[in-house]
A and B are shown apart, each in its own frame.
Chain A
């Protein structure tokens, strides 16, 4: 690895917690070659961001590097003091940060912030640096760079902000680009465009790049080599094709298997990784993964395996990899059958008819001053129907109105017009006028379990309170206690959790408590808004399986909101796709994934990276920005971004909402037969040879 751009050699880093120094990164070694995009994957707490920053010799005040070296072109960065590092930061190594808006200074223009770096490192004049900034903005495919340079960060969309950070990082042509989860906060469609851009720019600039991510699909599609981190240790490092084809390491194998995908029928369950990652304080003496490993033997628990160099350019840390490689042991990762009748029933739980919601309506002064202010059309004439014991999956980009629709149903917002029926009984649009029965029957699971639980009340206390409030008759203390334990067991938490506080739980455990709480009153419908997007991959599969089990056992229905079609399709039997407040397509999972589908749905599907480097999805990329819901496009709302636009009819005429067969509706001017012809002639996914 002598010609590597950057080499990490036996790096160890400790964090100070209380009065103790705990090991967070242990004996990390790997390298990145010129022109290579190196993926660094791991779950939260695996130390991936810490490692990325440590490679820049940048550590938090409560952390210290205890031993090891990081060589940039053969020079050990860890021997340099901060003044020397300032010569390197921004010039030889640049960071593309996670949350672009937070990472840009709100008080300076985009142009100022980009030129700052070239003025510093290349001594450019103010004028020249500004011109370079504009040139960089053009390079990241920003259409009107001169105007954008004069704007402030908050005036740009998320995708644009992220383009600015990459323009900034590339403006000095660094040797190494460190990208720390740069697309996590973006929509799938925007993410796809940005990732394409990263790939092109990194190649054009002949930079080496470290791409930190928890998204195995993204890494498969973008990176050349991948390092898998677990518990602060390198588990495996291999060329991307080999890592995904023959993972060897039990952790990698389980992780890849736990990704949700379209499964036929509702009887299957995703394979999961049991348990939780060890905390820094309880790092085992043996292999860090041993406690969760399905094939761990005694040796794994007592002795740490070495990081072996195998097959020339792979690294692996496992006692049993040879047995896996030769096929002596096979880790069973096939989806588990679950024999339980879970087919949806005929009855309807919820019937929402022609719901409308506008926000920010013009006030009296606006009308008097004739400001021409228009309201935001959040939800426009939307009707959905959810059958008993079924899951309706609601997908769309942020701003599509999917969350507003859910809030209208829950009564958290009051619809302007429309009707709701819950179990064939009319449901008032206003929350305050709903009956207790209706409140019991409609529950919610939130996106972020950390915010959904009261930090000062024990798990048992939270559940007891909900049970008590929603009960139709007064309950005895003992009855409540029994019910609390019942609920905890239903979400597979032991009785011991009753007395724990939320801070003592992991993210996945908190979400289980939140789910248990939603089930406290045996609801008919649970609205789950992105219930797994804040969770790790391995935890996500556990939660998804749990939701599936509970649906079968309790007979509840779900309204599942997500921007990730793969998550939705694993759980849902009916999918509704929304764009700018309007339903553009709905149908069964099979119908939506197969042809014909609405061009927007097609773009959504193509934007999801497949966790297999040999499979390539057709790149349908939505150009331009999503129009503001204040100024809706005329005709078809999607025409400004539609890759299949057929002509002026799309701009002038509302498209028909057509049944293309068996209740599968598409809102498009293109006739179904033509859509089928278009979409089958160039299939969405293909296997690279």
Chain B
């Protein structure tokens, strides 16, 4: 187990290193002079040159990369190119906090709901309730997020007034208010995630129900509920874990549309702004953070999978 863990951590570090090289290489390919982007078209050549020296832009690309990497690792993520040149790290970490909040609330809603629907589907294979659940989950995943998002806002925010239409709580707002703001975007994200988890759970339950150990458990005289929860679900959920982990990565960095629809300040929105403004250091930092969470979620999924599956754990 320890060997497994060490190997996976080394792999995680390697993944991050390789992606950082790719990101850096891509930013080098972007057209335009960075100094001119920051100082504007009218800037004096002297000022431009001074900025280039300050930013290390005259050094060869590998040196620039090394400087950036050492800086990033030691916590110096550089300054944004936008007006006022704010430092990047606090900005990204603040947005990360918001993204984590939303991801957490979304998982809290979507995992139990999806597993429950998947279980009901699997236990009633090909009956009307199974078809109904399939129809519902597949139709909401088919709709683009800006459609579901706008429908949710129209019905629950503008129509019923249960939730605010935009999620722009200031940092430090009371928890109740924050959660109330998170509900609608979380539901929109749940709609996207639900179909995958429901399908996986359904398939897992159907597969496991056919296995002879289920009959063994039934003929021990165990109540149906215990047979399903303790024996069937325990094994049926194993493949679902991986899907959940992948969706966590997506929740951190991929909610671009939903964050925009609900004006929510998460990492996804930060990244789009960075791209629009050619704010290269900000782009690099956000992408690195997002990739780190993707990789971390995968690692946690692998560990959880190995932990829950003795056949892997004890190899």
* Chain A contacts to B: CB under 8 angstroms: 56, 58, 82, 85-91, 94-95, 97-99, 102-108, 116-117, 120-121, 152, 154-155, 165, 168
Looking at the assembled complex, report how far the CB atom of A163 sits from the nearest CB atom of chain B, in whole angstroms.
Answer: 15
* Residue in A closest to B220 when the chains form the complex, CB atoms: A90
Of A56, A82, A86, A103, the contact of B216 (CB 8 Å cutoff):
A103
Contact A86 B213 (CB under 8 A): no
Residues of B within 8 A of A99 (CB): 212
Contact of B222 among A107, A108, A120, A165 (CB under 8 A): A120
Nearest chain-B residue to A106 (Cβ)? B311
Task: Quote the shortest CB–CB distance from B6 to chain A (angstroms).
Answer: 12
A88 to B314, CA, bound (A): 36
B75 within 8 A of A: no
Q: In the complex, which residue of chain A has the Cβ closest to the Cβ of B214? A: A105
Q: Which of A58, A88, A107, A116 contacts B218 (CB 8 A)?
A: A58
Nearest 4 A/B pairs, CB to CB: A90-B221, A90-B220, A89-B221, A152-B310
Q: Which residues of the partner chain B approach A102 to less than 8 Å between Cβ atoms? A: 211-213
- A137 vs chain B, min Cβ distance (A): 17
Interface positions of B (Cβ within 8 A of A): 211-213, 215-224, 231, 234-235, 308-311, 314
Residues of B near A94 (CB, < 8 A) are 219
CB–CB B220/A120 < 8 A:
yes
CA–CA, A400 and B62, complex, Å? 59
A154-B310 Cα distance, complex, nearest whole Å: 9
A88 to B222, CA, bound (A): 10
- Residue numbers in B under 8 Å from A91 (CB-CB): 221
- List, sorted by A's number, 12 A–B pairs whose CB atoms are closer than 8 Å: A85-B221, A90-B220, A103-B213, A105-B217, A106-B213, A106-B235, A106-B311, A107-B308, A120-B221, A120-B222, A155-B314, A168-B220
**The residue from A82, A107, A120, A152 contacting B235, defined by CB atoms under 8 A apart:** A107
Q: What residues on A are CB-neighbors of B231 within 8 Å?
A: 105
- Across-interface contacts of B234 in A (CB, < 8 A): 105, 107-108
Indicate if the CB atoms of B215 and A103 lie closer than 8 Å: yes
- Taking CB atoms, residues of chain B closer than 8 Å to A95 are 215-216, 219
CB-based contact B235/A90 at 8 Å: no
- B153 nearest CB across to chain A (Å): 43
Q: How far is the CA of A105 from the CA of B226 in the complex (A)?
A: 13
Residues of chain A within 8 A (CB-CB) of B221 are 85-91, 117, 120-121
Query: Is A56 a contact partner of B213 (Cβ separation < 8 A)?
Result: no
- Give complex CA distance A539, B5 in Å: 53
Q: Select one of A87, A97, A106, A155 contacting B215, CB under 8 A.
A: A97
Q: How far is the CA of A283 from the CA of B234 in the complex (A)?
A: 43
Q: What B residues does A117 contact at CB under 8 A?
A: 220-221
Closest to A83 in B: B223
Instruction: Please determine whether B212 and A58 come into contact, CB atoms closer than 8 angstroms.
Output: no
Quick one: which of A89, A106, A154 contacts B219, CB cutoff 8 A?
A89
For residue A121, which residues in chain B have a CB less than 8 angstroms away from its CB? 221
> Please, how many angstroms separate the alpha-carbon atoms of A97 and B224 in the complex?
20
* B246 nearest CB across to chain A (Å): 23
Q: How far is the CB of A662 from chain B (nearest CB, A)?
A: 49
Q: In the assembled complex, how far is the CB of residue A166 from the closest CB belonging to chain B, in whole angstroms?
A: 13
Give bound CA distance, A152 to B315, whole Å. 12
Query: Are B309's CB and A107's CB within 8 A?
Result: yes
- A106 neighbours in B (Cβ, 8 Å): 213, 235, 309-311
Q: Is the CB of B213 within 8 A of A104?
A: yes
**How far, in angstroms, from A248 to B223 measured CA to CA in the complex?**
46
A97, B218: Cβ atoms under 8 Å? no
Using A105-B216, A108-B234 as known contacts, list a sample of 14 further A-B pairs with CB atoms less than 8 Å apart, ordered by residue number in A.
A58-B215, A86-B221, A86-B222, A99-B212, A103-B215, A105-B217, A105-B231, A105-B234, A106-B235, A106-B309, A107-B308, A120-B220, A120-B222, A168-B220
Query: Which residues of B sit under 8 angstroms from A97, Cβ to Cβ?
Result: 212, 215-216
Most B CB within 10 A of own CB, among A85, A88, A102, A105: A105
Given contacts A152-B311, A154-B310, contact A103 B212 (CB under 8 A): yes
Q: Per a CB cutoff under 8 Å, which of A98, A107, A116 touches B220? A: A116
Quick one: closest A residue to B311, CB to CB? A154
Q: Is the CB of A104 within 8 A of B216?
A: yes
CB distance from B47 to the nearest CB of A (A): 55
Q: Are A107 and B223 in contact (CB under 8 A)?
A: no
What residues of chain A lie closer than 8 Å to B218, measured between beta carbons? Answer: 58, 89
Closest chain-A Cβ to B36's Cβ sits at a distance in Å of 51
With a CB–CB cut-off of 8 A, which chain B residues contact A88?
A: 221
Give CA–CA (A105, B123) in the complex, Å. Answer: 19
Q: Whole-angstrom distance from the CB of B159 to the nearest CB of chain A? A: 45
**Docked CA distance A176–B216 (Å):** 16
Report the Cα distance A95→B213, complex, angstroms. 12
Q: How far in angstroms is the closest Cβ of chain A from B290?
A: 32
Chain A residue with minimal CB distance to B310? A152
* Complex-state Cα separation, A86 to B220, whole angstroms: 8
Asked whether, in the complex, the Cβ of A105 is within 8 Å of the Cβ of B222, the reply is no
Q: How far is the CA of A567 from the CA of B234 in the complex (A)?
A: 43
| Contact across chains for B212 and A56 when beta carbons are under 8 A apart | no
Q: How far does the alpha carbon of A90 sit from the alpha carbon of B221 in the complex, in Å?
A: 5
Nearest Cβ in chain B — how far from A129, in angstroms? 12
- Give complex CA distance A154, B313 in Å: 12
**Residues of A contacting B224 in the complex (Cβ-Cβ under 8 angstroms):** 82
Contact residues in A for B211 (Cβ distance below 8 Å): 102
Provide the bound-state CA to CA distance between A528 and B224, in Å: 46
Contacts of B308 in A (CB 8 A): 107
Cα-based distance from A94 to B217 in the complex (angstroms): 11
A108 to B213: give the CA distance in the assembly, Å. Answer: 11
Give the complex CA separation of A182 and B242 in angstroms. Answer: 36
Interface centre among A85, A107, A117 (most CB of B within 10 A): A107
Inter-chain contacts of A165 with B (CB < 8 A) = 216
A120 to chain B, nearest CB (A): 6
Q: Which residues of B contact A103 (CB under 8 A)?
A: 212-213, 215-216
Tell me whether B311 and A105 are in contact (CB under 8 A). Answer: no
User: Once bound together, how far apart are the Cα atoms of A152 and B308, in whole Å?
Assistant: 12
CA distance A154 to B311 in the complex (A): 7
Most buried by A among B217, B218, B219, B234: B219
Residue of A nearest to B309 (CB): A107
| Minimum Cβ distance to chain B for residue A60 (Å) | 10
Alpha-carbon separation in the docked complex, A87 to B222 (Å): 9
Q: How far is the CA of A295 from the CA of B310 in the complex (A)?
A: 57
Is A58's CB under 8 angstroms from B310's CB? no
B220 touches A89 (CB 8 A): yes
